[in-house]
């Protein structure tokens, strides 16, 4: 992801954008965690 | 059991800490001990069964002169264990997972891989401790990917602290959680499922088709997510685990699909089912169907998974016949690089896969068959 961002942004901005992206994903995960995780049928076969 | 449970994440954190804090010489053994403790605390009888299978395989695989019967005994022992414990196992049925020794299916594939490679003389020089550590490798124990012995051993010997690799591992775990929690559980299994249920005016074929699409999307995001987390934990520990998915839903033919979906399993089947069967029967198409049948039955010993395996096997065989008749190799551009041909090929492939999910998403083969007929608007 950093390499992709670095193509369009300066290294410093790419780092900031990457941090923002990770924070966004973490918030998204936490927000969706209120929904029970659907069962993974293919674990521990 | 899922990776997104706090207790499994705690085990993962413990594994990463042990991987770097333990004295270097003892790191692989410490990780194996952690893996063993993990299995023992989850299900003690699994330790006994897996130890017996693993021990038998090692005893049969060591020694300078390897014969085919040693591999055959390993295969029979693993198959017998899988048949015995999974004969009544049904994917998705509540409580079923607790009846199967932890990680049996993946463990079985690893020891058969080890036995075959020992027979072919393809194993690097190693000790019994290396073998045990490989079998108890924590990240891949429960849900794969099916990592191979040689790359694992190479990583054991070469791993060094690498901040970039560690960061890559963190990113990978994060993406895995997004796939499982956001894409699979929330968007597919909740939002899309609710939307689909509310569409009472949809034609029956479309409702059935979208149901299969939902099943397939949920399966992919979950499976790819768990693989990402396992690979990510491996990276955090300094190990590069084999990839399991490579954008399968951009495949333009069914052969390509299976080179992108559950890659470690299809590679295992290619090496240890397709090659021997095709060579013995001198018929690659029989090899393909046998390989996919084994792949299907490995999931569940039921008619529906056998049918699903044969369905895909026949699809791959038909594609290979088509490619041969056109005089192309499966890698050559041919028609499929032209835009319209590429789109058509992609649509055909995706619909073949989605319709195939009708078989495994249903409780019985008969129900799956009815779903397929509904999609084809033969039955309402």
pLDDT per position as a tens digit, B219-231: 999 999 999 999 9
d(CA B247, CA B350): 12
Give the percent of chain A with pLDDT over 90: 47
* Cβ of residue A3 closer than 8 Å to a chain B Cβ: no
CB contact under 8 A, B298 and A41: no
User: Average pLDDT for residues B356-376, to the nearest whole number?
Assistant: 92
B218 close to B184: Cβ distance less than 8 angstroms: yes
pLDDT value for B371:
93
Instruction: Please state, in angstroms and as integers, the Cα–Cα distance from residue B235 to each residue in B20, B21, B163, B167, B312, following that order.
Output: 12, 16, 10, 9, 33
pLDDT for res B96? 56
Q: Does B252 touch chain A (CB under 8 A)?
A: no
* pLDDT more than 70, % of chain A: 78
Q: What is the pLDDT of residue B102?
A: 75
Judge if pTM exceeds 0.95.
no
pLDDT, average across residues A3-31 = 91
3-state secondary structure B164-225: HHHHHHHHHHHHHHHHHHHHHHHHHHHHHHHHHHHCCCCCHHHHHHHHHHHHHHHHHHHHHH
Q: Which of B97, B100, B181 sits opposite A32 (nearest CB)?
A: B181
What is the rounded CA–CA span in Å between residue B274 and residue B288? 6
B289-315 b/e with 16+ CB inside 10 Å = b?
bbbbbbbbbbbbbbebbbbbbbbbbeb
Query: Cα–Cα distance between B261 and B241 in angstroms, integer?
Result: 16
B125-131 long-range contacts, CB within 8 A, separation 24+: B126/B153, B128/B58, B129/B28, B129/B29, B130/B28, B130/B156, B131/B54, B131/B58
User: What's the DSSP call for residue B242?
Assistant: P
Q: If you ran DSSP here, which 8-state letter would residue B261 be given?
A: S
Q: State the pLDDT confidence band at B327, using cuts at 50, 70 and 90.
A: confident
CA Rg value for chain B:
22
pLDDT value for B287: 96
Distance CA B108, CA B268 (A): 12
Of B168 and B64, the structure prediction assigns the larger pLDDT to B168
A4 or A27: which leads in pLDDT: A27
| Residue B8: pLDDT over 90 | no
ipTM value: 0.88
Q: So what's the pLDDT on residue B208?
A: 94
Does the structure show a pLDDT above 60 at B330?
no
DSSP-derived secondary structure letter, B244 = -
Task: Tell me: pLDDT of B66 over 70.
Answer: no
- C-alpha to C-alpha distance for B60 and B114, rounded to whole angstroms: 11
C-alpha dist (Å) from residue A40 to B26, B227, B246, B320: 34, 12, 19, 33
Average per-residue pLDDT for chain B: 89
**B positions 152-181 inside 8 Å of A (CB):** 171, 174-175, 177-178, 180-181
Q: Residue B325: which H helix or E strand, with range?
A: helix B303-326
Q: Looking at residue A4, what is its pLDDT?
A: 86
**Nearest CA-CA distance, residue A35 and chain B, Å:** 7
Residue B286 reports pLDDT greater than 60 = yes
**H-type alpha helices, chain A:** 2-6, 11-32
Indicate if the pLDDT at residue B128 is higher than 60: yes
Active-site hit among B113, B126, B262, B299: B299
Tell me what pLDDT residue B297 has: 92
- The verdict on whether B299 is a catalytic residue reads yes
Selecting from B3, B177, B186 the residue whose C-beta is nearest the C-beta of A35 gives B186
Rounded to 5 degrees, what are φ and ψ at B297? Answer: -70, -25
Which of B98-102, B151-155, B373-377 shows the highest mean pLDDT? B151-155
Percent of chain B with pLDDT over 70: 91
Residue A37 CA, chain-centre distance (Å), reads 17
Give the model's pLDDT for residue A33.
85
Asked if residue B314 has pLDDT above 80, the reply is: yes
Residue B20: Cβ within 10 Å count: 14
CB contact under 8 A, B177 and A1: no
Number of residues that make up chain A: 45
- CB contacts < 8 A, A to B, total 78
**How much is the average pLDDT of B127-141?**
92
């Amino acid at each position: 992801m950093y390499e992709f961002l670095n193509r369009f942004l300066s290294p410093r901005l790419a780092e900031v954008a990457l941090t923002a992206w990770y924070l966004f994903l973490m918030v998204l995960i936490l927000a969706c965690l209120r929904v029970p995780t659907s069962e993974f049928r293919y674990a521990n076969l | 059991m899922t990776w997104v449970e706090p207790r499994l994440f705690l085990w993962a954190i413990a594994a990463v800490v042990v991987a770097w804090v333990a004295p270097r010489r003892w790191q692989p053994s410490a990780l194996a001990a952690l893996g063993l403790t993990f299995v023992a605390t989850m299900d003690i009888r699994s330790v006994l069964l897996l130890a017996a299978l693993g021990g038998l395989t090692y005893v049969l695989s060591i020694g300078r002169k390897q014969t085919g019967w040693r591999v055959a005994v390993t295969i029979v022992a693993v198959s017998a264990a899988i048949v015995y414990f999974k004969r009544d196992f049904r994917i998705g049925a509540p409580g079923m997972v607790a009846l199967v020794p932890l990680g049996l299916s993946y463990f079985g594939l690893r020891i058969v891989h080890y036995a075959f490679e020992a027979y072919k003389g393809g194993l690097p020089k190693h000790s019994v401790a290396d073998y045990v550590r490989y079998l108890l490798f924590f990240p891949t124990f429960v849900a794969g990917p099916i990592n191979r012995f040689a790359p694992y051993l190479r990583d054991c010997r070469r791993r060094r602290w690498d901040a970039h690799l560690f960061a890559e591992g963190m990113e990978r775990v994060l993406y895995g959680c997004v796939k499982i929690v956001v894409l699979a559980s929330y968007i597919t299994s909740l939002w899309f499922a609710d939307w689909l249920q509310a569409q009472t005016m949809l034609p029956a074929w479309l409702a059935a088709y979208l149901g299969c699409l939902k099943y397939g999307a949920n399966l992919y995001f979950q499976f790819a997510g768990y693989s990402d987390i396992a690979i990510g934990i491996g990276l955090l520990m300094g190990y590069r685990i084999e990839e399991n998915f490579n954008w399968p839903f951009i495949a333009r033919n069914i052969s390509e699909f299976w080179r992108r979906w559950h890659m470690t399993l299809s590679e295992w089947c290619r090496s240890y089912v397709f090659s021997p069967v095709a060579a013995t029967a001198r018929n690659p198409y029989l090899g393909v169907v046998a390989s996919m049948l084994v792949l299907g039955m490995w999931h569940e010993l039921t008619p529906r998974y056998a049918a699903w395996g044969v369905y895909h096997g026949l699809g791959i065989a038909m594609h290979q016949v088509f490619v041969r008749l056109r005089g192309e190799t499966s890698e050559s551009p041919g028609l499929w690089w032209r835009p319209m041909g590429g789109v058509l090929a992609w649509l055909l492939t995706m619909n073949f896969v989605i319709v195939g999910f009708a078989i495994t998403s249903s409780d019985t083969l008969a129900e799956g068959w009815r779903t397929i007929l509904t999609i084809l608007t033969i039955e309402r």
